[in-house]
């Protein structure tokens, strides 16, 4: 396990992605750590042969979460379709073109077939909170990655970001703090304490 910059990480991926099949990189990290920012930065450096594959499209629908009593815990490991995401990663290995669901934050719902992996895409940067989680069923994803990366950001910085995220969504300060500390930070601690050892670690991405 090595700490590495974004530029070094992009070079490492390029150097390793020399086989005939697709090369799949997992970018994991707590909520608010900057996984999307890092993933997009990598794709920008890797060029047109690379694409981001987000896990967010595998949120359970709100109606299902209500039925299960899990709506207040939306974003926790048990509120995602982990097995379906694993199936998608398998399809990426065997199919030239792969459609996948995305997540519309403004509508708070998934969008079926909102994204597509094209035949020309050789490097997949999969990003999500729980890609390195050691708990079932997430642990079954480990064998599907050629390289794993964990974003590490100080816990207090994450809390500040997550509170601000809910303020930006129009919540009062009291509600934003309650939401961040009552759910988001629980998920932060899950990622910090329950993720497996990555190949590389990356700090804050500017």
Nearest partner of 83 among 31, 132, 126, 136, judged by Cα: 136
Look at the chain and report how many structural domains it folds into: 1
Residue 186 domain-assigned (yes or no): no
Whether 49 is in a domain gets the answer yes
The predicted pLDDT at position 109 comes to 86
158 occurs within a structural domain: no
pLDDT in tens, 19-78: 889 999 999 999 999 999 999 999 999 999 999 999 999 999 999 999 999 999 999 999
Pairing of strands 147-151, 23-28: parallel
- CATH number where 72 lies: 3.40.50.300
Omega cis (within 30) before 137: yes
Q: CB atoms < 10 A from the CB of 60, how many? A: 18
Could you tell me the pLDDT band of residue 108, with boundaries at 50, 70 and 90?
confident
pTM for this entry: 0.93
Residue 171 lies in a domain: no
pLDDT of 1 over the 60 cut: no
What integer pLDDT is reported at residue 78 of this predicted model? 96
Domain residues for 65? 2-153+195-202
Which of 125, 93, 178, 162 minimizes the C-alpha distance to 14? Answer: 125
* Mean pLDDT of the residues in the chain: 94
Kindly indicate the confidence band of residue 2, based on its pLDDT and cuts at 50, 70 and 90.
Answer: low
Give domain status of residue 86, yes or no.
yes
Task: Examine the pLDDT at 128 and tell me if it is beyond 60.
Answer: yes
Which residue from 88, 70, 87 is spatially nearest to 79, judged by alpha carbons?
70
């Amino acid at each position: 396990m090595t700490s590495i910059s974004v530029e070094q990480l992009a070079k490492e991926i390029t150097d390793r992605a020399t086989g005939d099949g697709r090369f799949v990189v997992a970018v994991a990290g707590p909520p608010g750590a900057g996984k999307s920012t890092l993933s997009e930065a990598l794709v920008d450096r890797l060029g047109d042969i690379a694409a981001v594959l987000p896990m967010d499209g595998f949120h359970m629908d709100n109606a299902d979460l209500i039925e299960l009593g899990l709506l207040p815990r939306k974003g926790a490991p048990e509120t995602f379709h982990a097995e379906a995401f694993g199936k998608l990663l398998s399809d990426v290995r065997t199919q030239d073109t792969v459609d996948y669901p995305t997540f519309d934050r403004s509508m708070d719902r998934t969008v079926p077939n909102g994204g597509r992996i094209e035949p020309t895409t050789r490097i997949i940067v999969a990003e999500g909170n729980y890609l390195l989680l050691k708990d079932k069923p997430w642990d079954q994803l480990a064998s599907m990655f050629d390289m794993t990366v964990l974003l590490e950001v100080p816990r207090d910085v994450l809390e500040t970001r997550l509170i601000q995220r809910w303020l930006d969504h129009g919540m009062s300060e009291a509600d934003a703090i309650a939401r961040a500390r009552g759910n988001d930070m629980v998920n932060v601690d899950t990622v910090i304490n329950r993720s497996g050892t990555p190949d590389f670690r990356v700090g804050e991405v500017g």
